[in-house]
Amino acid sequence: MHLNFLAFAIPLFLFFIACEYLYSKRSGKNFFQYAESVANINVGIAERLLDLFTTGLFFYFFTYVYKNFALFDIKENFLVWVLLFLVTDFIWYWYHRLAHEINAFWAAHVVHHQSEDFNYTVSARITVFQAVIRSLFWAVLPLLGFPPLMISILLLVHGIYPFFIHTQALGKWGWFEKILVTPTHHGIHHASNPEYLDKNYGDVLIIWDKLFGTFVEENKNIKITYGLTKPLESHSFLWQHFHFVLEILLNFYHAKGFKQKWRTLFGKPDDLDSRYRDILERKFLRHRRTKETPTKAMRYYVSIQTGISLLVLFIVLLFEQYFSAKSLTLFSLFIIISLINCGAILDQRRWISYLEIARVCLVLFILYYYQPSSYTATLFVSTIMIGIIYFSDIQRFYTRILYSRSES
Ligand SMILES: [Zn+2]
Ligand SMILES: [Zn+2]
């Protein structure tokens, strides 16, 4: 049996989060907010899921560059591994810095910075778009002549490190603070205080920041505020992923002349006209109620859904080899609908009933797909009929049960 043991990263990840959560409670620091944590984990679920479809492509891309354009013939040995690590970390620094300085890249990286918490769940807050952009930067490695297999192994190891620097539980790391990116350094990177903006871009080594003038030490007198300078005020899965893309597009549409249009894409985030963000918020976030704490019913329902999404993801990853492309797509669709649904519930949207009906239909369709019979077909069709006929009752039921304050 061919199992993908990388799937066990999910329970391991949850174990570390549980430990950190207990520490946060016991120490009285409470650096976990319910909605923030769920939103972070849900973004991570989508990334891990879509990663299934893209990892092979990246490896193919690296191999293609290596075979056709490699500048040097690099052979594997210990020193080459060290060199590869240094070059990878150096490229990361520039990828990360440019992801903050160029709008087209920030559109993907902004998602990582939306959380107003700083804990292990934030490390999961990466999108597949970010992975795509990062891989374009990693293409320098096969171009230099590093073998693709070496690159894949190193990127895997290199990718584990950032998890451990997204925490407030590990304190200072003594002498290591001088050369490594530590939780203190990276916490500063996630801060929106003016003194800390656009600093500490490194991934494993902090030396690049010191070398290129973007390093800043922690100032004990500054109380860190985590997140974006203009907070998102929404946990909508779609808004989190696409709000900045829409902002760029609207700016691009209204920009006059080539130079201005170029600046909307490749200029800095500050170059954008903030009025367009307001217009988009008025259109898409009219009824935002994120500041209200979620009701007990919302918390239960969202937690169960997130748990199921994690479980389905774990099974899909573990038995990856045994899933056909069709079943992989069906299960992925189920997870994506659940993620959008959770975000919409946290934002107290009424349109979740559409998603609920769509998801039930999808589950029944999956049932029919694996067990085609007249029973499953009838079940599928009658559920759609019930969904259409009793739509307004279903909608009332969901909103009353989930959002009603008397229930909490
Ligand atoms: Zn960043
Ligand atoms: Zn981070």
- Phi and psi of 117, rounded to 5°? -110, 165
Q: DSSP letters of 161-174?
A: HHHHTS-SSS---G
Q: In DSSP terms, which residues pair with 180 in a beta bridge?
A: 205
Retrieve residue 240's tokens. Answer: 């989190």
What pLDDT does 287 receive?
Answer: 63
Retrieve residue 287's tokens. Answer: 């009824």
User: pLDDT for 354-380, tens place per residue?
Assistant: 898 899 989 999 988 888 888 888 888
Ligand nearest to the CA of 181: 2
Question: Which amino acid is present at 36?
Answer: E
| Neighbour-count burial of 213, counting CB atoms closer than 10 A to its CB (0-12 exposed, 13-18 middle, 19+ buried) | exposed
| Neighbour-count burial of 273, counting CB atoms closer than 10 A to its CB (0-12 exposed, 13-18 middle, 19+ buried) | middle
What pLDDT does 289 receive?
Answer: 55
Q: What's the gap in Å between 191 CA and the centre of ligand 2?
A: 10
User: pLDDT for 73-104, tens place per residue?
Assistant: 998 899 999 999 999 999 999 999 999 999 99
- Phi and psi of 13, rounded to 5°? -60, -45
What pLDDT does 408 receive?
Answer: 42
Retrieve residue 308's tokens. Answer: 């199921």
Ligand nearest to the CA of 106: 1
Q: What's the gap in Å between 190 CA and the centre of ligand 2?
A: 6
Q: What's the gap in Å between 123 CA and the centre of ligand 2?
A: 6
Q: What's the gap in Å between 166 CA and the centre of ligand 2?
A: 6
Q: What's the gap in Å between 188 CA and the centre of ligand 2?
A: 10
Splitting the chain (408 residues) into consecutive groups of 10 residues, what average pLDDT does each group show? 88 95 91 93 94 86 94 92 96 96 96 95 92 92 94 90 93 90 96 94 96 94 92 90 94 92 93 89 73 82 96 94 90 95 90 89 90 88 88 86 69
What pLDDT does 171 receive?
Answer: 83
Q: What's the gap in Å between 48 CA and the centre of ligand 1?
A: 19
Q: What's the gap in Å between 97 CA and the centre of ligand 1?
A: 7
SS3 372: coil
